[in-house]
Amino acid sequence: MDVLPLTFLTAVPEGQVFGLNTETLITIVLQLLNASVLAGFLTWLLYKPVRKFLQKRAERIQSQLDRAEQDMTQAATLKDQYEASLDGIEQERVEILETAHKQAVEKTRNVLQEGKREADAMRDRALQSIQNEQAQIQDSVKDYIIDLSSAMAGKIVTHAIDPEIQDRLFAEALQELEDTSWPT
């Protein structure tokens, strides 16, 4: 156990734990006055620098908050511009697709019309060719009939048929030629 110094025990009157006398009161008042003067001096000495430091810190924080708000506003503006740009690109894509579709439809229609024109031209040429061939065949059949009639007439004349039989045979040949249907 610790032993208290002897001087401490002698200063406290007997039966009291704490000795409240004038000397103690003066010491307490002097210490309070000392603490007040020290606090006042420290306040006078340190209050302005600490206040300036705190004010600068508050201004720095406020400027950072303002800058962050500006950055957020700028980011929102960029985001809106980006979304508008995306919408514009989407609209342009739709327009391009519609234009390409219209052009494809137009080109298909033109190709079909051109094909129809070519088919009509081919059909017309084929019909013309058929008509020309029919005319040539009719001409050659007529020539053949004329040649055959001439040959028959020559045989008849060579056998010396009387003129009455010749007229009758000629009339019959003409009748047969008239009754024959020609292909058209």
- For residue 9, the model assigns a pLDDT of 46
- For residue 146, the model assigns a pLDDT of 81
Number of domains in the chain: 1
- For residue 59, the model assigns a pLDDT of 95
- For residue 161, the model assigns a pLDDT of 62
- For residue 107, the model assigns a pLDDT of 92
Q: Is residue 153 part of a domain?
A: yes
pTM of the predicted protein model: 0.37
Q: Is residue 61 part of a domain?
A: yes
Q: Is residue 4 part of a domain?
A: no
- For residue 176, the model assigns a pLDDT of 79
Q: Is residue 3 part of a domain?
A: no
The answer to whether 173 touches 152, Cβ cutoff 8 Å, is: yes
Tell me the average confidence (pLDDT) per consecutive run of 10 residues in the chain, 184 residues long: 48 60 86 94 85 92 94 92 86 89 92 91 91 87 80 68 74 78 60
